[in-house]
Structure 1
Amino acid sequence: MTPRPSYWYDLAGLETSAAAVRAALPPGVELLYAMKANPDPGILRALAAHVDGFEAASGGELRHLAELFPGTAPAAFGGPGKTDAELAAGLAAGVRRFHVESPTELRRLALLAAGSGVVADVLLRVNLPVPVDGAVLVMGGRPSPFGMSPDDALACARLDLPGIRIRGVHAHLGSGLAAPGAAAVARTIVEWAAKELDAREVNVGGGMAVDYTDPAARFDWPAYGAALAGLLAEHPGRTLRIEPGRALTVYCGYYRTGVLDVKRSGGEWFVVVAGGTHHFRTPAAKGHSQPFTVLPRPEWDHPFPRPVTGAGPVTIVGQLCTPKDVLARVPDAAGLPAPGRIAAGDTIVFGMAGAYAWNISHRDFLMHDPPTFRTGLPEN
């Protein structure tokens, strides 16, 4: 029987890597986890001892944090299009910093804060018109729905709104940046915030690079930490914040599933696995082949020949009624990882499944059963 697809989270490994990231950052730099990457309760609990807090981006994420960490205020509440109900929920939760996206949102927050008798501490999210070289996903530096123009941010900073205390600047301009690019973007943000607003707090966002084509590669945290230390030395008396998501958790997750069928069509091999992109959306969303390992199962319980891949291209697909349900492609079967072929009944483990995976999947399409969730490293 093919095992039910499952997610496995290596929480011990996550804690080790998070501690190393924390150690690479200098004093004066706060580390927040952008929980949109993966809000799994086990992951959040494992990270809690190593981060300075969590960044939420919806009312649902605020409620999730309140359930997991009662009495603990979220470190930041960001995201575009916050409703009045969500802003009010943030005020009630004691959010430490609101990342405000527009002048209108600031005024709405001011009315709610004044009406509830509290003060909202705000970072103005700014979309600086600067190039974001090397970014895989550009969030700013050009016309964007995220944040506000520098002129609008400066105008907001001059407002005297009851219930509002402007603390500084937030900017997240791009994702997929290697350490030198991320450091250059951070410098641009800090220098603008210091010069134009004399901001005491600057959140330079996340977006640290993750390379799905090279699972062994890692963002250079020591080099990035050294660059941030240099910025703090040049601009003393300030607090810097970063808020990575994917780069913290992607490596701790695995999606394990079984091979249902192997068949040939038009000179190509198709490996059909239980589950698919309705469980694990990442490769379809990012447009890449997910790295995987094949765990052979020697037994075969059926009286007919066992289908197995041969020469030619191999595509690993799921159970959905769409040609977009693709998890990985191998141009030639010679490039398959050990043992060099895939047979019906084998187990396949997809790595780098710890971020933007189950939580972004269209899980109700075809109404298949959901995966199970386990802690540790996946077994055959």
Structure 2
Amino acid sequence: MNLQFLRNYMDRDTEPVCAYLYDLDHLRRRASKLLSSLPSQCKLFYAIKANSDEPVLQALLNHTNGFEVASLGEIKRVRAVDRTVPIVFGGPGKTDAELEGALEQQVMLIHVESEHQLRRLDWIARRRNQVADILLRVNPAHVPQQATLRMGGQATQFGIEEAHIPALIELIQTLPGVRLQGLHFHAISNNLNAQTHLALLEHYFNLAKAWQRRYQLTFKWINVGGGIGVNYADRQAPFDWENFCTGLSTLIAARQLDFQIVFECGRFLTADCGYYLADVTDVKTTHGKHFAILRGGSHHFRLPVSWQHNHPFVVLPRDAWPYPFPRPTVQDEPITLCGELCTPKDILTRDAHVERIRAGDCVAFLMAGAYGWHISHHDFLSHPHPERVYLDSSIERI
């Protein structure tokens, strides 16, 4: 999607502008490119928590190997799109109803996160005369890599402590309702360094191979999670996917890995297919600092507040000015972009330099296709929701 299209959309009669625009053609091309670069032994699943809109799932249906979900509601969203596409099911707090629903909806793999969850799943599966295919989610003892979020290598609610995995492997051998198919690792999030991510995967593979040898197991799947990041601060320095895939091929061959490797990426797939547009309703100066107030904010686009970063944006100028009095303007100065909420935390970008921004202009936040609308508190203060537009081969769907 080019900036001219954003300008054309901004200049429609609808006022004030507040909208998400998603480029589904770009999303398909990106997913296909990522998938084709992976070694043949690898599968690319889309973690739908990043953006679970039906048009997005439809766009990715034949351009990924399946979907990763974290609730029964997400399972139902996927099944509404396709009845047979592979699904893997993660999350630390699965209820009995969710485990039963996963079996009913023919989920391919359930990621087990505790002994209690394992025993409940076995009990439910046996009552249904089924056998659940599972992966044990491992919380590794040590994860040297740094990233924005860490779910492993330290005390968190995620996964099973590495030291406890042998006991659960032995327990599974006594439970007729579950079948161990491999392991699930997802220890960090938003890693931007391809080489450290390869080292992380090598650590995962070493653990898997050691348990295979010790228990004479044949793992069919090793899920290495997502965790591959998006560089919001510098879009010219993305995660080096091509070199990562080359290194992964070398690693697979050198270690003679005999299992399928699953990636469950969310943000990395969908971030750059989306844009969040919001009109500037006011420009003001308070205690020596400049602020632009937007028709929108963190109730629509919570990602910048959640991650405490300055989100990338461009100003789309609008020359029309309908009022008979001067237009508030800031020129060649830093400015903070704020939402319309009654909280000082409603900040999308802080102290960013602009050539010019005026009341009545529009701001387009880039890379807004993941963890934007879907993690936001939509109805706080009861402002109108943004329009959501899906661009698909020049056909708009709302």
How many residues matched? 372
Shift of 1:227: 2.5
Please give the residue correspondences for 1:295-310 in structure 2 after superposition, counting only pairs within 5 Å. Answer: 295-310=316-331
Pair 83,131 (structure 1): closer, same or farther in 2 beyond 3 Å: same
Q: In the alignment, which of 176, 179, 184 is matched to residue 162 of structure 1?
A: 176
Counterparts of 1:211 and 1:41 in 2: how far apart (Å)? 26
SS at match of 1:6: strand
Deviation digits for residues 144-195 of structure 1 (CA, Å, limit 9, x no counterpart): 1100012322211112201110001001010121211211111101111111
Residue 61, structure 1, aligned to residue 74, structure 2: yes
Matched, 1:10 2:30: no
Deviations 1:221-259 (A, max 9, x none): 122212322232213321111111101110111001111
Alpha-carbon RMSD across the aligned residues, in angstroms, is 1.7
Q: Counterparts in 2 of 1:331-350, with a 5 A limit?
A: 331=352, 335-336=353-354, 340-350=355-365
Aligned letter for 1:68?
V
**Could you tell me which amino acid in structure 2 is paired with residue 187 of structure 1?**
E
Name the SS of the counterpart of 1:254 in structure 2.
strand
Specify the alignment match of 1:127 in structure 2: 139
Gaps of 5+ in 1: none
Deviation at 1:68, TM superposition (A): 1.7
Partner of 1:218: 238
Partner residue of 2:350? 329
**Matching of residue 99 in structure 1 with residue 119 in structure 2:** no
TM-score with structure 1 setting the length:
0.94
Partner of 2:307: 286
Secondary structure of the 2:139 match is coil
Residues 272 and 368 in structure 2, CA contact (< 8 A), matched pair in contact too: yes
> How far apart are the structure 1 equivalents of 2:283 and 2:176?
65
- Aligned-partner residue type, residue 239 of structure 1: Q
Bigger CA drift: 54-63 or 224-233?
A: 224-233
Preserved contact between residue 317 and residue 362 of structure 2 (Cα < 8 Å): yes
Provide the rounded CA distance (Å) in 1 between the counterparts of 2:16 and 2:332: 27
Q: Secondary structure at the match of 1:141?
A: coil
Secondary structure at the counterpart of residue 256 of structure 1: strand
Match of 1:195 in 2: 210
Alignment equivalent of 1:365, drawn from 377, 380, 396: 380
Greater per-residue strand proportion: 2
Using the TM superposition, name which of 221-230 and 105-114 deviates more. Answer: 221-230
Q: 1:237 is aligned with what amino acid?
A: D
CA drift of 1:298 comes to 0.8
Q: What percent identity do the matched residue pairs reach?
A: 43
Letter in 2 for 1:226: T
- The aligned residue for residue 56 of structure 2 is 43
Provide the C-alpha distance between the structure 1 equivalents of 2:268 and 2:134, rounded to a whole number of angstroms. 26
2:45 matches 1:32:
yes
Structure 2 counterpart of 1:267: 288
Q: What amino acid is the match of 2:52?
A: P
Structure-to-structure mapping, 1:239-250, within 5 angstroms: 239-250=260-271
Counterparts of 1:68 and 1:201 in 2: how far apart (Å)? 25
- Alignment partners' CA distance in 2, 1:75 and 1:38: 16
Letter in 2 for 1:352: M
* Residue 22 to residue 217, structure 1, CA distance change in 2 (3 Å): same
Segments of 4+ in structure 1 off by > 6 A? none
In the alignment, the residues of structure 1 paired with residue 43 and residue 79 of structure 2 have an alpha-carbon distance, to the nearest angstrom, of 21
Corresponding position of 2:89: 77
Deviation at 1:74, TM superposition (A): 4.1
**Hey, what's the Cα distance between the residues in 2 that align with 1:275 and 1:266?**
24
SS in 1 for 2:75: helix
Q: Which amino acid aligns with 1:172?
A: H
Matched, 1:238 2:247: no
Whether 1:108 and 2:123 are equivalent positions in the alignment is: no
Cα offset, 1:311, TM superposition: 5.5
Contact 2:279 2:362 survives alignment (8 Å):
yes
Rounded to whole Å, the distance in 2 between the matches of 1:49 and 1:43 is 11
Deviation of 1:375 (Å): 2.2
TM-score using structure 2 length: 0.90
Deviation at 1:75, TM superposition (A): 2.1
1:310-343, Cα deviation, whole Å (9 max, x unpaired): 4543111111000000111235xxx31xxx1100
Higher alpha-carbon deviation: 180-189 or 305-314: 305-314
Residue 354 in structure 1 maps to residue 365 in structure 2: no
Measure the CA separation in 1 of the matches of 2:163 and 2:256.
23
Letter in 2 for 1:268: K
Contact 2:18 2:386 in 1 (8 A): yes
State the alpha-carbon separation in 2 of the partners of residues 288 and 281 from structure 1: 11
- Summarize deviations over 1:22-71 as a string: whole Å, max 9, x none: 111011101111111111111111111111100010011011112122x2
Amino acid at match of 1:316: L
